[in-house]
Structure 1
Amino acid sequence: MCRNIRTLHNFEPPATDDEVRAAALQYVRKISGSTKPSQANAEAFERAVDEVADASRRLLDSLSTAAPPKDREVEAAKARERAAKRYAA
């Protein structure tokens, strides 16, 4: 599950709220051990996703760096190249 959580800091354009929420959802799924909570746990699950997304957004907004922003397309191409090498065998 955690393979879907990607670095969201220092990209141009910045991470969207949807990307932050998707990462939060993956995190909560991983630590809860559930991809879809029962009805009894749905409210707690959604609240946790919201809280993790809020904390993640605050973190991303407060981080600073002197490094130039990364280009999403360049990073995606690098990831595809790594995957091609890894799965070539």
Structure 2
Amino acid sequence: MVQSLCFARCAETETVWIMCNAGGDPLEGFMGGSGAWVPLRGKVASCEVGPKLEIVEIDLSVLKDSRETYKVREDAARRSAS
């Protein structure tokens, strides 16, 4: 569920969304599931339960495409103007 919420958040904010949770043994209280989500692309990197470091190159031009497709900012501006 957390993974789906991260993708929804990146789409609604038209941003690259990065979530970092401590990885390790779930029996010791570690959640894991860190990742990076990009609008129109979904999850582009992930570190599941165990410890891991991942470096990912992300083309930020997708944010412009996302703004043109979803028009979240335009909708918000219209709502606040009325």
TM-score of the superposed pair, with normalisation by structure 1: 0.32
Q: What is the TM-score when the length of structure 2 is the normalising length? A: 0.34
Structure (1/2) with the larger strand percentage: 2
